[in-house]
A and B are shown apart, each in its own frame.
Chain A
Amino acid sequence: EAQVTQNPRYLITVTGKKLTVTCSQNMNHEYMSWYRQDPGLGLRQIYYSMNVEVTDKGDVPEGYKVSRKEKRNFPLILESPSPNQTSLYFCASSRVREFSTSGSYNEQFFGPGTRLTVL
């Protein structure tokens, strides 16, 4: 089954304790992204990756790191979590689809989400 998996699904931690949220996809997609979702703000892109060893900042990268050593995995690292990083996190992987007329677009598939609470 084609899917994006994230672990853990739920995590309660304390300020300053380093953590990693894993993301893995089995669809051989080149593109992967991390988002956070907060009430009233919608999903905001944290980091994205266009391929192995190629990553770039999204709109809210402060306090986060990522790595892309293998095509299927894209972990999100919080070196020193703070309470303002309490959020719902989604990983996504995407493939290029062609329009029937012209051009192409980037279709995203999301993981089930990780609910993180930082005390």
Chain B
Amino acid sequence: RKEVEQDPGPFNVPEGATVAFNCTYSNSASQSFFWYRQDCRKEPKLLMSVYSSGNEDGRFTAQLNRASQYISLLIRDSKLSDSATYLCVVNFNFNKFYFGSGTKLNVKP
């Protein structure tokens, strides 16, 4: 069983749409959670850390549900530039990181 599971997509949405991704993790002792963005096999870049209480950064909102062991990312008012693969990342024991295989988003004009 994979440590982190994501729907690979692709999610094809029009500009301006709201889109949501979920991710589930298997280790209940996981300590911190992140969403990274990766463009076309380039390096992943941190989009957001996910706080227990949920957090928002502009058009992006991340939520954590520890009881159900899932993390979500909501993107409002999608832009063409949001097209990318979104990676869910779980950190265990501070040094060990587990990545989901990513969810691909295509925002179309």
Interface residue ranges, A against B (CB under 8 Å): 31, 33, 35, 37, 40-45, 48, 50, 56, 58-59, 88, 90, 97, 99-101, 103, 105-113
| B89-106 to A contact mask, C-beta < 8 Å, 1/0 | 001001111111110000
> Size of chain B's interface in residues, with CB distance under 8 A?
26
Known contacts A97-B49, A106-B94; A42 and B43 CB within 8 A of each other: no
> Which B residues form the contact surface with A (CB < 8 A)?
4, 8, 31-32, 34, 41-46, 49, 51-53, 87, 91, 94-102
Contact A50 B49 (CB under 8 A): no
Report Cα–Cα, A112/B43, bound state, in Å.
5
* Residue in B49, B52, B96, B101 whose CB lies within 8 Å of A42: B101
Q: Tell me whether B95 and A56 are in contact (CB under 8 A).
A: yes
Q: A45-B96, A101-B53, A108-B46 are in contact. Are A40 and B101 (CB under 8 A)?
A: yes
- 20 A-B residue contacts at CB 8 Å? A33-B95, A33-B97, A41-B101, A42-B87, A42-B99, A43-B44, A44-B99, A48-B95, A59-B98, A90-B44, A97-B49, A100-B51, A101-B52, A103-B31, A105-B34, A106-B91, A108-B46, A111-B43, A112-B42, A113-B43
Contact A105 B49 (CB under 8 A): yes
